[in-house]
Structure 1
Amino acid sequence: MSITTLGYALLTLLVRKPLSGYDLARAMKNPIGFFWQARHSQIYPELARLEELGLVTAETIAQRDRPDKKLYTITLDGQAVLAQWITEPAKPASERNELLLKTYSLWLADPEKAIKLFQDQKELHQQQLAQYEQILTEYPQATPLSPDSPDFGSYATLLRGLSYERGYITWCHWILTQLESYVDDKRSQNEPPHEHKYSD
């Protein structure tokens, strides 16, 4: 039985509660979208495939003054397949970070323009951190979560997101400190902050 990672992502949502295709698409943006993304057009074909495999069932729900909707529920086979997949070795994450690629040759850049670049990046990550911190307030701090609770997985991924954003902000702050110090030193010496001679 071959299941895509998107299929497993949908099962991780359905194991919590039955959802319609529309609700699944929303959940794929938040919270799953924080660490795994998929296009809306991919979701319904994958749901149909999971249904064919007997991992989910679909019930048509009549709605007044609205089109009927399908409510998807994970089956016992679906739960078993998901539980087995969770402990299988994870594929290495592919890293394609344009900002890091630019940083690798930052010495060529106009430092004042680089300062603006990293100020913008720092602000973006501060906004994301604020969103995560708001979600964190929804969890009781005094009561430890049990590892057999769905909230445990949600909380664990949230902590990873918080750690990532805080680390990124710290890194941006360090680069900004170095760049700003460099520019200030050049100005104090009445030298242009950027005068790089390119080799032939």
Structure 2
Amino acid sequence: MIRILVLVVTTVAGVQGDAANNQIIEFKERTKGPIATMTTAAGAYVEEEDTSTLNKNLFNNEFFMDTISHVVRERIPERLVHAKGSGAFGYFEVTDDITDICRAKLFSKVGKRTPIAVRFSMSASERGSVETSRNIRGFSVKFYTEDGNFDIAGFNTPMFMVKDPVQFSSLVRSFKKNPSTNLYDANSLWDYVTQVPELLFICMVLFSDRGIPDGYRHMPGFAIHTYQV
């Protein structure tokens, strides 16, 4: 018993300086007095007698129905591709005059700045996966212009994986985890690659140094879509 207590104390002492582990404690220390009045999602005050449902009709308790409906929906499943990413805000500045070929206001004059939001991501990785895995990187840029939002999607490769859209679903399943083992399956990936020869080009790029770029700052970028001037 004493050994267990010593182990617990040692473990707690080891995280005393960890802001993530102590977030709730530090929040309590910074907050004086009641934090707020408890309400439902609709803003109705919660009476003390409604915080217990023992020997009462559950479906007549608005507080219970509100909390249980919230908890079953609060975890949003991650997106199938490009789930793990990093974002940043900044601005786009025009450096060259292209008014002879483009009338968009965001390119109207040299030196004009437009607020933007950028998200960088890895194609096949999931939330919690490492940043250094060999992976095709993607990015998206949102321009907040006077005429509305303008979006650009891109890759760090000059080509996309497949040409025929109907192949995309099978492609995604080939590099995701095997649902039977919950592990990445090289057999599934290479079986698909060998049957779709057009994938070999991007695989050669992926298994070069470009597959593990030196951070998003040094990552090359190419537009996925074709543009016509």
TM-score by length of 1: 0.21
More helix by share: 1
Work out which of the two has the higher radius of gyration on C-alpha atoms and give 1 or 2.
Answer: 2
TM-score by length of 2: 0.19
More strand by share: 2
For CA contacts below 8 A with separation 6 or more, give which structure has more relative contact order.
Answer: 1
